[in-house]
Amino acid sequence: MQPYRKGSQYYESQDVQGVKVTWRNEHAVVEWEETADVWSSAVFHGGHAQATKIVNHMVGKGFDCSDPVGYMELKCKEWGYDAKQTVGLLTAARMTHLSVEGLEGDQFSLFCATTAGTSNAARAGMKRETYSSYLTLDENLERKDSLAKAQDHKDDKFSGMIPGTINTIIVIEARIQEAAVLNLLQSAVEAKAAALADLNIRDRETGLIATGTTTDTVAIAILDRGRYTAEHQYGGTATTIGNELGMLVYNTVSESVRTQFEDDNDAV
C-alpha cells in the first residue's frame, strides 16, 4: 500500500502499536515513542544505534555526497529532530511512492516501509566498475590515469555514488537475540533480490538480473515492550519471523519498484 498516493500524509501501523509514518518536506519519517535498538547500513548512525526515528530523505541526482553525515546533522536541526536519536537514509527515489505493509505473527509484530529507485541496479558477485569506499567520488576520480576521461564517464562509471536506491525500514516488536537480528537482515536482502528477479530488473553493466542497487540500505528497529515473552533465536527463511518479514520486504519492494515511474496521481 502507498498511503501518500491515496491522499494521506500520515499513516499509523495497525500491527506495531505507536509506529507511524509522516511525509514532510523531502522526507518521510518512521517513528515510535521509546528509544529502540536499530541495526542498519544507513549513512547516518548506521551500524548499531539507539533511536526513536528513522528518516528516509530524498535528494537530487546531483547531490554532493562528500559529507553525508554533516549534511544529515544539518537537516535534523532544520527539521527539529534530535540528531542523536535519528537514523538517516538517503535516496533519489520519491517519498510519495513509499510502500508500507505490516502483520502480526508468531510472538512478533512487523512493520515494513520501502522506497525504490533502480537506476543503479547491480548484480552482486560479478566483476564491475568499482570505487574505494574510504574515498570521496572526487578522490576516486583523481586516482584515475586521466581525470578528464574519468570525468567524462562520471555519470555512468560511478553510478554507485548517486543516491538512487532501495531503502527498506523494518520495525519489529518482539524479543530477539542479536544474532537473529543479523539473520533477519539477511532474509530481508534475499527477499529484495527475489523481488527484483521476478520484476526482471537488470544490471546495466552486465545485462544480468540485478540483486539490488549499488547503494541499498536496510534498517531494522527492535521494540521489546514485554508484550511477547518468547525469544527469537534465529531469523532465517525457515523461521516464522524470517519468512513473514521476507514476505513484507518482497511485497513493498515489488510495489515500490513497479510504480517508481508513475506520477503521484496515477491510479494505485
- Residue 164, pLDDT score: 58
Q: Give pLDDT tens digits for 157-197.
A: 444 444 459 999 999 999 999 999 999 999 999 999 999 99
pLDDT recorded at residue 168 = 98
The pLDDT value given to residue 153: 47
Please enumerate in sequence order all residues whose Cβ is within 8 A of that of 264, keeping only pairs 6 or more positions apart, or say none. 4, 5, 94, 96, 97
Flag whether pLDDT at 65 surpasses 80. no
What does the DSSP assignment read for 76-130?
HHHHT--GGGEEEEEESS-GGG-EEEEEEETTEEEEEEEEE--TTEE-TTS----
240-255: average pLDDT = 98
pLDDT at 50: 98
pLDDT of the residue at 62: 72
Confidence of residue 265 (pLDDT cuts 50, 70, 90): low
**What is the model's pLDDT at position 188?**
98
Query: What confidence category does residue 261 fall into, taking pLDDT thresholds of 50, 70 and 90?
Result: very high
Contacts of 128-131 with C-beta under 8 Å, sequence gap 24+, read 128/203, 128/205, 128/206, 129/157, 129/158, 129/205, 130/160, 131/158, 131/160, 131/161
Comparison of pLDDT for 136 and 42, the residue scoring more: 42
pLDDT of residue 150: 45
